[in-house]
Amino acid sequence: MVTGKVTQVKLLPFVMAALCIAASHTTTYACSCGPGDPPAAFNSARAVFIGRVLDGSQQVKFEDPDGDSGILEAGQVRFAVESTFKGVALSEITLAVDSNEGTSCGPYGLVRGERYIVYAYASAKDPAVLLTGVCTRTTRIDSPDAAEDLKFLGNLPPAGSGATIRGSVWADLKDGKATPLSDITVTIRGTGDTRRTAKTDIDGAFTVTGLRPGKYRVEPEFPPHYTSRQKFEEVTVEDLGAVDVAFEATLDGLIRGRFVDVDGRGFDSAFLKVEGSGLSSYGHSTGGNGRFEADGLPPGEFVISVQMQHREYPLNKPYYYPGTFSRLEAKAVKLGPGETVENLVFRLPAGYRVRTIEGKVLDADGTPAVGAEVFLLCPRSSEPGGYSIEFRPPGTRTDDQGRFSIGALSGETYWIEARGLSKSTAQPAGKDLCSPARKLVVTEDVKDLTLVLGPVRGAVDCTE
């Protein structure tokens, strides 16, 4: 008999974030999970069986939105095993079942005396402990949800028939929808000389069956001018089970440049919008001196802009490359198939100059605060009706001497604040700390600013 301590179902590797609406009567009020279809759940489960609930170590009271109420079994739940499909050779088994009390997924439990299709999984903390719960396909055998599972389990091929890898390949063309990529060759390699290939269909889907249990590397061959951050995926399949993989590609057109002031000093905290060829995309900073790039672009002509931020949101306005508030004066960037356009120079509006704020952050005992975060909060124009450029507060981290350097804009007002974990004896180790926020009206470079971490205070009021 398998027994063990109660373990949180959230430890299961396949469980998606719970937002809530979930599966069986096993009463759940709002939990949305993704355990996969029966073949995928069968593959990842340690044990699959039909069993009757005998009792549990924890009784959970419930009342559902329809007014029904009762008692559910949770904690260490015993089952009488009636039929087994995977991993169970016992007439009785005990599984850990989390009641999820106090969460949006609870209360959860099983009904004593009822028969269930059960998918049981190994605990991430202790593989000897088997568990089931809200984010699994475990369900009452008389539930409408059970029909798909009963059909799959009732038609399992003989042991040794092999496993299945299923998948899809699509492109994000930044037009608001996914575009399936058909006729893509997908290569599947396993241990030794195992090698299988498949072609995606009109829906971008592929399936490979009859694989020996084990680990496999799945790798699509993307067509010219497409690229993907996910070149391959490694999966493990078990006999009679299935694993799903998915690959997203983008076009490999690329625009690079620098966002600079009139003195050529780079600014790193702008958020660029790229419009053209029927899409709206975005550029991002690439790490310093004003460098930016926008990738995944198809052939066409593109207009680049940043949004100037006003205190009253409806008064925000775009500012266009190479440096104008007029849409008619904006310069379009032409991009061919798979082309990279580089060395663009996008100049800040007149009156905005990049300044550097430098200083150090100290822990409560005066030692350097290594790795502390430093933020310029609430970027605002110093003029009542003026504009700021930052889409989000600029931030950086201190070095091994507790020092920092961060870019700001003249003519703007910020609140500067440092945050970190205590490493000194003046505060409990690991305690969240922050420095008192200081208001800065930036006109010139600022040097030798000192911020000292202390107890966390209230949030900065950006309306001041």
C-beta separation of 361 from 435 below 8 A: yes
Contacts of 225 (CB under 8 A, 6+ apart): 251, 252, 253, 337, 338
pLDDT for the residue 464: 58
Q: How far is CA 5 from the centre of its chain?
A: 30
Q: How far is CA 203 from the centre of its chain?
A: 25
46-81 burial, b for 16+ CB within 10 Å, e for fewer? bbbbbbebeebebebebeeeeeeeeebbbbbbbbeb
Reduced to 3 states, what is the DSSP secondary structure of residue 163?
strand
pLDDT for the residue 425: 53
How crowded is the C-beta side of 207, counted as CA atoms within 13 Å?
9
- Cα 296 to Cα 274: distance, rounded to the nearest angstrom: 11
- Cα 194 to Cα 2: distance, rounded to the nearest angstrom: 35
Q: Domains, the chain, ranges and CATH?
A: 9-154 (2.40.50), 163-250 (2.60.40.10), 253-347 (2.60.40.10), 354-455 (2.60.40.10)
Which residues of the chain fall below pLDDT 70? 1-32, 422, 424-431, 458-464
pLDDT for the residue 32: 65
- Cα 135 to Cα 34: distance, rounded to the nearest angstrom: 7
- Cα 256 to Cα 427: distance, rounded to the nearest angstrom: 46
pLDDT for the residue 4: 33
pLDDT for the residue 246: 96
Contacts of 56 (CB under 8 A, 6+ apart): 72, 73, 74, 75, 76, 77, 78, 97, 109, 110, 112
C-beta separation of 392 from 269 below 8 A: yes
Residue type, 91: S
Q: Is the dihedral of CA 123, 128, 132, 136 positive or negative?
A: positive
Reduced to 3 states, what is the DSSP secondary structure of residue 282?
strand
Closest CA to 282 of 299, 261, 301, 296: 296
- Cα 113 to Cα 115: distance, rounded to the nearest angstrom: 7
Burial of 294 (0-12, 13-18, 19+ CB in 10 A): buried
Instruction: Let me know how long the chain is.
Output: 464
Both tokens assigned to 349: 């509006």
Burial of 287 (0-12, 13-18, 19+ CB in 10 A): exposed
Residue with the two structure tokens 């694989």 = 211
- Cα 301 to Cα 174: distance, rounded to the nearest angstrom: 15
pLDDT for the residue 424: 58
Reduced to 3 states, what is the DSSP secondary structure of residue 263?
coil
Both tokens assigned to 158: 């003989």
CB atoms within 10 A of CB 172: 16
Residue with the two structure tokens 């003195």 = 263
Both tokens assigned to 182: 């058909």
Closest CA to 368 of 454, 433, 455, 451: 451
DSSP for residue 147: H
- Cα 39 to Cα 44: distance, rounded to the nearest angstrom: 9
Question: What is the β-pairing status of strands 130-132 and 92-97?
Answer: parallel
pLDDT for the residue 106: 77
Beta bridge partners of 117: 50, 139
- Write the CA distances from 344 to 90, 144, 212, 375, 389, integer angstroms: 69, 59, 53, 28, 19
pLDDT for the residue 27: 46
Each residue's pLDDT tens digit, 41-56: 999 999 999 999 999 9
C-beta separation of 360 from 403 below 8 A: yes
Question: What is the β-pairing status of strands 178-180 and 163-172?
Answer: antiparallel
pLDDT for the residue 428: 54
